[in-house]
């Protein structure tokens, strides 16, 4: 099969399409015939060697790329009863110790890392959900805001931020969304009660809307201290990027979100997407062999939604 790998870390030109053996699922695993694989910032960090430098990935000669996938179950390993060949699924590869990623024609995942795909949505749309949806959901779970609580979401028009706004609104949480001025209509459409342009002084602007500060902040844009400044004393704060969280000033509980594959949670997200309660956004599709071009476009910024590779 064809797969995209990195043999010498670097820029987008480091991505190579190679022929490798089709992987075989072990006990508790499934093999997915990939129909779509989303392109995420963590993929660029994998390609550049940043994950190795940070100690999150062991150095090796060949590095697979890609976390998100949507496709069809092709084969199941021993002990798998929840899925069968032909099932349409989404999945996330959260393990960095395996040789190949989802930028490939086939990928083997633990059965606990896949869930039924959303109804009535394309594979490209479905592939944008697993990593970013789980990150938003699990970050909200750490904050655990009660209905009626106030929450700041930075990067609210991005992939993680957009899901966070919608999921929080579904819980009855009142959301202050921070994004570019041109994204105000979108973030309000997915559930934000208030809007703050990212060009504003964030803490002051949020406190003008919510005197005393919000109960919690989900920092999808990695703003750091300005977002913390918008949180009330003894509130809560979560960063979705490891190592980016500020110190826990003023008794604020500060968390870092490390995403974990979770079939049940992914299934809930899939159901919400299938009923139109989550908005899946595809910035564009490209053939698998154009992964380098997709990474160059990702680096340019300004995308709304995710680019998706199609084998």
For residue 231, the domain's CATH number is 3.40.50.720
Block residue for tokens 């890609």: 66
Rounded CA gap, 173 and 124, in Å? Answer: 30
**166, 190: one domain:** yes
pTM attached to this predicted model: 0.96
Contact 92, 145 (CB under 8 A): no
> Which tokens sit at 126?
């479905």
**190, 285: one domain:** no
Is position 264 within any domain?
no
**95, 106: one domain:** yes
- Its domain, for residue 92, covers 2-129+280-310
**122, 136: one domain:** no
Rounded CA gap, 203 and 153, in Å? Answer: 12
**44, 12: one domain:** yes
Give the pLDDT of the chain (311 residues) as one tens digit per residue: 999 999 999 999 999 999 999 999 999 999 999 999 999 999 999 999 999 998 999 999 999 999 999 999 999 999 999 999 999 999 999 998 888 999 999 999 999 999 999 999 999 999 999 999 999 999 999 999 999 999 999 999 999 999 999 999 999 999 999 999 999 999 999 999 999 999 999 999 999 999 999 999 999 999 999 999 999 999 999 999 878 899 999 999 999 999 999 999 999 999 999 999 999 999 999 999 999 999 999 999 989 999 999 99
Instruction: Give the model confidence (pLDDT) of 126-183 as tens digits.
Output: 999 999 999 999 999 999 999 999 999 999 999 999 999 999 999 999 999 999 999 9
**235, 304: one domain:** no
Is position 188 within any domain?
yes
Residue 242 confidence (pLDDT): 79
> What is the tally of structural domains in the chain?
2
Contact 129, 113 (CB under 8 A): no
Residue 241 confidence (pLDDT): 87
Is position 177 within any domain?
yes
Is position 261 within any domain?
no
**122, 139: one domain:** no
Tell which of 256, 272, 289 closes a domain: 256
Is position 223 within any domain?
yes
Is position 275 within any domain?
no
**124, 142: one domain:** no
Rounded CA gap, 175 and 288, in Å? Answer: 37
**174, 220: one domain:** yes
Residue 44 confidence (pLDDT): 97
Is position 266 within any domain?
no
**119, 160: one domain:** no
Which residue in 78, 73, 87, 80 sits closest to 111, CA to CA?
Answer: 80
User: What CATH number is associated with residue 35?
Assistant: 3.90.180.10
Q: Tell me the CB-side half-sphere exposure of residue 28, using CA atoms within 13 A.
A: 4
Rounded CA gap, 189 and 196, in Å? Answer: 15
**57, 141: one domain:** no
**15, 40: one domain:** yes
Tell which of 256, 271, 288 closes a domain: 256
Is position 267 within any domain?
no
Residue 243 confidence (pLDDT): 83
């Amino acid at each position: 099969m064809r797969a995209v790998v990195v043999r010498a870390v670097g820029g987008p030109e480091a991505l190579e399409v190679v022929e490798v053996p089709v992987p075989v699922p072990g006990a508790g695993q499934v093999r997915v015939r990939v129909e779509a694989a989303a392109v995420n910032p963590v993929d660029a960090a994998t390609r550049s060697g940043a994950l190795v430098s940070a100690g999150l990935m062991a150095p090796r000669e060949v590095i697979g790329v890609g976390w998100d996938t949507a496709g069809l179950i092709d084969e199941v390993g021993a002990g798998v009863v929840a899925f069968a060949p032909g099932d349409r699924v989404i999945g996330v590869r959260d393990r960095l110790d395996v040789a190949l990623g989802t930028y490939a024609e086939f990928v083997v995942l633990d059965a606990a890392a896949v869930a039924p795909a959303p109804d009535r949505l394309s594979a490209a749309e479905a592939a944008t959900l697993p990593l970013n949806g789980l990150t938003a959901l699990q970050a909200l779970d750490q904050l655990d805001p009660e209905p009626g609580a106030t929450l700041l979401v930075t990067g609210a028009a991005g992939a993680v931020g957009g899901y966070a706004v919608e999921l929080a609104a579904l819980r009855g949480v009142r959301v202050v969304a921070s994004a570019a001025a041109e994204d105000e209509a979108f973030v309000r459409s997915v559930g934000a009660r208030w809007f703050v342009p990212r060009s504003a002084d964030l803490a002051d602007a949020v406190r003008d809307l919510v005197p005393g500060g919000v109960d919690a902040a989900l920092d999808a844009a990695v703003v750091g201290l300005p977002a913390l400044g918008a949180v009330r004393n003894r509130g809560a704060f979560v960063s979705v990027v490891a190592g980016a969280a500020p110190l826990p000033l003023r008794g604020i509980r500060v968390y870092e979100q490390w995403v974990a594959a979770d079939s049940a949670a992914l299934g809930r997200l899939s159901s919400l997407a299938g009923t139109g309660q989550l908005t899946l956004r595809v910035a564009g599709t490209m053939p698998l062999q154009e992964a380098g071009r997709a990474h160059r476009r990702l680096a340019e910024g300004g995308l709304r939604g995710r680019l998706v590779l199609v084998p």
